[in-house]
Amino acid sequence: MSEESKPVARPPRPTYAPIITVQQHILREQRRFAGVSGEFSWLLSGITLATKLIEAKVRRAGLADILGSAGETNVQGEVQQKLDIYANEMLLNALSVRESVAMLASEENEQPLLAHGGSPHAKYIVVFDPLDGSSNIDVCGSVGTTFSILRRTTTDLDSEVSADEVLQPGSKQVAAGYVVYGPSTMLVYSAGNGAHGFTLDPAVGAFVLSHPNIRIPAYGKYYSMNEAYLDRSPAIYQEYVHRLRDGSLGRPYASRYVGSMASDIHRTLLKGGVFLYPPTADHAQGKLRLLYEANPIAFIVEQAGGSATDGHGRILDIQPTSIHQRTPLVVGGPDEMRAFAKIAAAAR
């Protein structure tokens, strides 16, 4: 047989299972969107890049404090930046160069920021909380990032983008997700086809699929809320929490509260249960923000078989009226949410 006509050999059976990175996963997902040719995965790669930069900084948080005392100025004469400002800038930097991004809105910026709005390629709006639970940083507790991706409300992409275009109900999210910087760093995202979890492999710097098709358990062991507010919460929340405690909802519950919503939700998603941030006498809408905290979480949890309400209706159906608006939030698995709905309905 001549050199040219040698048959091509089949690859040997692999010894190691192939890994799936978040990038590969997104590429596969975006085939479901008509007319999307790589731009969606490029956009999401901006988020994964920024969150890797944030995670690297979070991992060195204690060291940075030891090495450079707070309030110190750096060589450019700038005051040392706090982690939530750093996280915000990493996301803004990475996303503002993506041509598909028209506008960015962040917890850290009062107004939405223009990226490529008015360009024919810029069809997406990205909204985020760069660092969630940032007070945990000082005590080596876990923190997170939450994000939500929306389409522009107009099909005329050449038109000037308006700040109001971000005011869309969560049901319009194209994709959403969160990252938890805990003992390991995990990204959970959904593009409307299930919720999928990826663990950052620090040795190679890639988010690797570790939790495909997450399903929230039918019920869990824990409820998660800042119980210091219970006495100042509406009666339905008080009754619900008392009944979670006394076992009359099927089983007695224990409580867990990290104080970083992304982390508390992550436990709830994997182990079941319920997370609550109620309205209180002094904060009628609670604390959490609808657009970049409640909406992405509600989207993910619904995709995993759970649900999310503001105590009156579905979180994802709320029509926002302002970018930083707050909402009460009750989110969890089927049994816990059914019990909450029953108590809320009986009180009406």
Handedness of CA 260, 131, 192, 185 (dihedral sign): negative
Number of Cβ atoms within 10 Å of the Cβ of 347: 12
Residue 202 CB, nearest approach to ligand AHG (Å): 24
Q: Which residues bind ligand AHG (CB under 6 A)?
A: 107, 129, 132-134, 226, 259-261, 287
Longest dimension (CA), the chain: 86
Of Mn ion, ligand AHG, none, which one sits near residue 260, judging by CB under 5 to 8 A according to partner kind? ligand AHG
- Which C-beta is closer to ligand AHG: that of 260 or that of 307? 260
Dig out the tokens for 164 from the structure: 């109001």
AA letter at 138: D
Beta strands in the chain (DSSP E): 101-106, 113-114, 124-132, 143-151, 175-181, 185-190, 196-201, 206-211, 222-224, 254-255, 274-277, 307-309, 329-332
- Which C-beta is closer to ligand AHG: that of 191 or that of 244? 244
Q: Which residues bind Mn ion (CB under 5 A)?
A: 107, 129, 131-132
Of Mn ion, ligand AHG, none, which one sits near residue 105, judging by CB under 5 to 8 A according to partner kind? none
What is the H or E stretch that residue 249 is in? Answer: none
- Measured between alpha carbons, how far is 90 from 50 in angstroms, rounded to an integer? 5
- Which C-beta is closer to ligand AHG: that of 201 or that of 227? 227
Residue 344 CB, nearest approach to ligand AHG (Å): 21
Residue 277 CB, nearest approach to ligand AHG (Å): 6
Of ligand AHG, Mn ion, none, which one sits near residue 271, judging by CB under 5 to 8 A according to partner kind? none
- Which C-beta is closer to Mn ion: that of 29 or that of 107? 107
- Which C-beta is closer to ligand AHG: that of 83 or that of 191? 83
Of ligand AHG, Mn ion, none, which one sits near residue 169, judging by CB under 5 to 8 A according to partner kind? none
Q: 159: Cβ–Cβ under 8 A, 6 or more apart, which residues?
A: 118
